[in-house]
Amino acid sequence: MVVCPWCGTNYTAFQSNCSKCGGPIQASQTFPASGREDEVLMPPPPPRDISDNYRWKLMLADAWSMTAGIFALIGSIFSLVGLVLTIAIITAFVGLPFLGIGLLFLGGGGYVLYWRYQEALKGMNILRNGEAVIGRVTRTELNYSVQVNGLNPLTIGYQFQVSGKDYQSTVTALNHINLQFEPGKPVCVLYLPNAPEYNSLYPHP
């Protein structure tokens, strides 16, 4: 069985690109990590052909985006109800508070969605053009206080080195059912050559 490293789609036979997200798939792309038994999945060289639709996959797997979407939906409902009640003059005193609360939720949710969309575009740039390097997982933390679609956000901390300089970063994922990130485990990190502070894990969780 072949698994797309970008979105996790399973295929019974090998194909060069994922039909769901457009991400490139290689038949063999493991790399031994510093003499250990662990092998790290490595991506093809940049630029990588990844579908523009993959940005939505990144947003749907992002806890911030999911929460903001819920707030924006609630805000839309409150705004619509408040607007209808306000237009009916007799209930304007009830409609105005509904409209105010709705616009507040809608504005806040919309702002966060725009922010996360821009972050998704940055993530696409990293996945398409990032250079690959072996890093190490430093910590994993499952947030039991937050749940989105029945899943708890998993925060993965990792570190890597570029030109002798150490970098540390984190990524949060909801799709972690089949992920095994243990502290000390080698991982592949993609980073932008001109700005290593912009980086991500590969495969993207």
- pLDDT tens digit string along 124-151? 899 899 999 999 999 988 878 877 667 7
Domain assignment of residue 109, yes or no = yes
Mean pLDDT value of segment 105-127 = 93
Residue 155 belongs to some domain of the structure: no
- Give the number of domains in the chain: 1
pTM of this structure: 0.71
* Residue 78 located in a structural domain: yes
Whether 197 is in a domain gets the answer no
Does residue 103 lie within any of the structural domains? yes
DSSP codes of every residue in 152-182: --EEEEEEEEETTEEEEEEEEES--TT----
Integer Cα distance of 89 and 137 in angstroms:
60
> Does 87 reside within a domain?
yes
Range of the domain at 99: 60-122
Closest CA to 24 of 164, 159, 172, 203: 203
Q: CB–CB of 124/62 below 8 Å?
A: no
> Is the Cβ–Cβ distance between 151 and 174 less than 8 Å?
yes
Q: Is residue 163 part of a domain?
A: no
Give the residue, 158 or 27, on which the prediction is more confident: 158
